[in-house]
Structure 1
Amino acid sequence: MVVSGKKHRLAIIECGCDINMMVDLAKAADLVLMLIDASFGFEMEMFKFLNICQVHGFPKIMGVLTHLDSFKHNKKRKKIKKRLKHSFWTEVYPGTKLFYLSGIVHGEYQNQEMHNLGHFITVMKFRPLTWQTSHPYILADRMEDLTNPEDIRTNMKCDRQVSLYGYLRGAHLKNKNQIHVAGRGGAHP
């Protein structure tokens, strides 16, 4: 999960296992929440994403350890938590925050644990990342197709005119510059 936003603007984007999506999100993320299944441990995609983040300036990273309820004995649970915390600190940096979600009750995580996680995120301070401050990028939360419906009806592959709404971050976006649309490939005027 990638969190990007300033003050009251917050966008939460779930990152799949697609390497291109990882690169695009590592460039724009202010905070990365790495969900780690305690019953399974670290997955290879986590290590890939951490390497990608290092290349793009390393946004804040926070771990969230889940499925702790799958361990019935406290001794085993403590041992797993300690081992995963040590491994997480080795991969990111010592002292990286790691939250523990004890388990799901009636289909939901416990309110106090979610409140603590939300509070920690809201008071967190972010440092400016070099890549983000030197490159303009848009986080679009809405798109409208302005193309004439008759043109679409007659030719489904006609050129479309769209309007994006969202947030411009980083440097200024210059008029007539080519842009890269994540997931669409190539640069577009």
Structure 2
Amino acid sequence: MCDLAKIADLVLLVVDGSFGFEMETFEFLNMAQVHGFPRVMGVLTHLDSYKNQATLRRQKKLLKHRFWTDIYDGCKLFYLSGLKYGRYPRQEVTNLARFISVLKFRPLVWRNAHPFVLADRMEDLTPPAAVARDPTSARSICMFGFV
């Protein structure tokens, strides 16, 4: 999670609306704040578990205000009502995709001041015969990842 907080430009926090926020959500938000705080949007799912509209409205309001408290007032929160035939409703997904596509990302001052490399994979390019002769010999490695 820490590496993701360092490299993300946009974070979509997907939260189970029937359960609410979990401790891992707040831990990730804290890490994101430490590493420059990228743009954050919330997505509430499993809202179809509420049968009463008044209860659903109250839960949405409570989760929205809790989200705004932890991030900033007015932070965008999307609602995905529930799965129909194994998929979320097309209009709700289209609205989310449209909002993401027009976002303008600001450069993060912290990220520009603290360069780093996130390595996904590392390969040893040293010939196996050289390693067999001298295990402490200098090695050539190749790293794959993000800058």
Scaled by the length of structure 2, the TM-score of the pair is 0.82
Deviations 1:16-39 (A, max 9, x none): xxxxxx222111111111111111
In the other structure, the counterpart of 1:151 is 128
- The structure whose RCO (Cα within 8 Å, separation 6+) is larger is 2
* Cα RMSD (Å): 2.5
Q: Is the aligned partner of 1:45 residue 2:29?
A: no
SS of match in other structure, 2:12: strand
Alpha-carbon contact 1:27-1:131 (below 8 Å) kept: no
Is 1:161 the counterpart of 2:138 in the alignment? no
CA 67–133 in structure 1, closer or farther in 2 if over 3 Å, else same: same
Distance 2:3 2:143 in 1: 21
Equivalences, count: 141
Shift of 1:71: 0.8
- In terms of fraction of residues, the more helix-rich structure is 2
- Residue segments in structure 1 that go unaligned for 5+ positions in a row: 1-21, 169-189
- Separation of aligned partners in 2, 1:91 and 1:144: 37
Counterpart-to-counterpart distance in 2, 1:114 and 1:102:
10
Q: Matches of residues 10-159 of structure 1 in structure 2 within 5 Å? A: 22-138=1-117, 145=123, 147=125, 151=128
Superposed displacement of residue 40, structure 1: 0.5
CA contact (8 A) 1:38 1:68 kept: yes
Q: TM-score, structure 1 length as denominator?
A: 0.65
Higher strand share: 1
State which structure, 1 or 2, has the greater radius of gyration over its C-alpha atoms.
Answer: 2
> Does structure 1 conserve the Cα–Cα contact (< 8 Å) formed by 2:3 and 2:118?
no
Shift, 1:151, TM fit: 2.8
Q: Secondary structure, in 3 states, of the residue corresponding to 1:120?
A: helix
Instruction: From the superposition, tell whether residues 163 and 52 of structure 1 become closer, same or farther in structure 2 (CA, over 3 Å).
Output: closer
CA distance in 2, matches of 1:138, 1:163: 10
Residue ranges of structure 2 left out of the alignment (5+ in a row): none
Alpha-carbon distance, 1:161 to partner: 3.0
Calculate percent identity across the aligned residue pairs: 54
Residue by residue over 1:3-57, the C-alpha shift from the partner in whole angstroms, topping out at 9 and shown as x without a partner, is: xxxxxxxxxxxxxxxxxxx222111111111111111001011111111111112
